[in-house]
Amino acid sequence: MTAIPLLDERMPTRRRRALDALKGPVGSIGFMLAATIIVGLVWVGPAFLAPSNIQIVGVSVAVPLIVAIMASFALLAGVVDLSIGSMVGFGAVIFNQLVATGMDPWVVAGITIVVGGVVGLTNALVIVKFGAEPLAVTLGMLTVLRGLSQVIVVNAPPSTLIDPLYNVTQGAVAGVPVLLLIGIGVTLVAAGIVSKTRVGRNVQAVGGDARAAARAGISVTRVRVAALVVSAVGAAIGGILYVGQLGSASNVLGTGLEFQIYAALMIGGYSITRGGVGNPLGGLLGLLVVAGITNILNIQFFDPDYLDLIVAVILLAAVLVDRFRGGDVFE
């Protein structure tokens, strides 16, 4: 008697992969984004998807997206960098201060990025070389950078508008903000690195099981140092872009940004407690969900405190879904 093949065995490979993707974290957050859009259309109306509103949402999410995607490499490597919000503010203050003295903006941008790299390297050395707890180290760096920003801004120069940078941060192509297109481009490159390259596999391996990665010949130290440097550099770039958008830098810029970013990344399938889990595309969708909810509440003139409550509920739901699904451990 001939055995009847199971449905999964008869299913074409492409279709099976598509179904697996829909059942994974990216698929789950995709459904959540679709639900957010539907709520927006029902509650706000067609204006929710009007080009002008899309541009508003795009501008608001673009810089956090770039910072989040760069910081996600540290998460994948099993390290949480709590200093990214303060690094955004510190980078903005340094950039604005030096440009106001008459230095070339592009030279100053390079200096700011190098400072970000130094901050990331400092975090990495203390965490990796001395075995300190990442949360404690990066929380300490958060406090240091915030204090330095406040000291520098006491005698802050006048606002500085840099035309080329302003044009990039405020420009649009077919109604879509240029900065958002850049953020999406960064996301796609990061997704390709994570899913298609040895570097991405090494980062996931280190975050998933550092001891097993070391036995496989992967340099855990090198991977985590690089990931923390990338995280801090991304935050420094975010600070530069915020100056381009706002034309100035304040001592509160970036405050609380790290929590908004990590909440969005967790909604998008990343894990704070387990390394090697997550995909940049999920991070993009998570940020869009939060931005969409924020936009709906702003249009309806709701108290901003409701946003924290709604994001917290969505975050808890995302964690529960991940637990019921069994999580995406690195293999």
pLDDT in tens, the chain (331 residues): 455 555 555 556 666 655 555 555 566 777 888 888 898 899 888 888 888 888 888 888 999 999 999 999 999 999 989 999 999 999 999 998 888 888 888 999 999 999 999 999 999 999 988 888 998 999 999 999 999 988 887 665 556 677 778 888 888 787 788 899 999 999 999 999 999 999 999 999 999 889 999 999 999 999 999 999 999 999 999 999 999 888 778 878 888 888 889 888 888 888 877 788 888 998 999 899 888 888 888 888 777 677 777 777 777 776 676 666 555 444 4
Distances (CA, A) of 15 to 26, 91, 195, 286, 315: 16, 46, 19, 25, 30
Three-class secondary structure of residue 177 per DSSP: strand
pLDDT the model gives residue 147: 92
Cβ neighbours of residue 153 closer than 8 Å, sequence gap 6 or more: 93, 249, 250, 251
Distances (CA, A) of 244 to 96, 155, 168, 169, 173: 9, 20, 8, 6, 18
Three-class secondary structure of residue 249 per DSSP: coil
Give pTM, 2 decimals. Answer: 0.85
Distance CA 105, CA 123 (A): 27
Distance CA 159, CA 71 (A): 28
Q: Which residue has the tokens 């520098």?
A: 152
Kindly list the domain boundaries of the chain, sorted by start residue: 53-254
pLDDT the model gives residue 329: 44
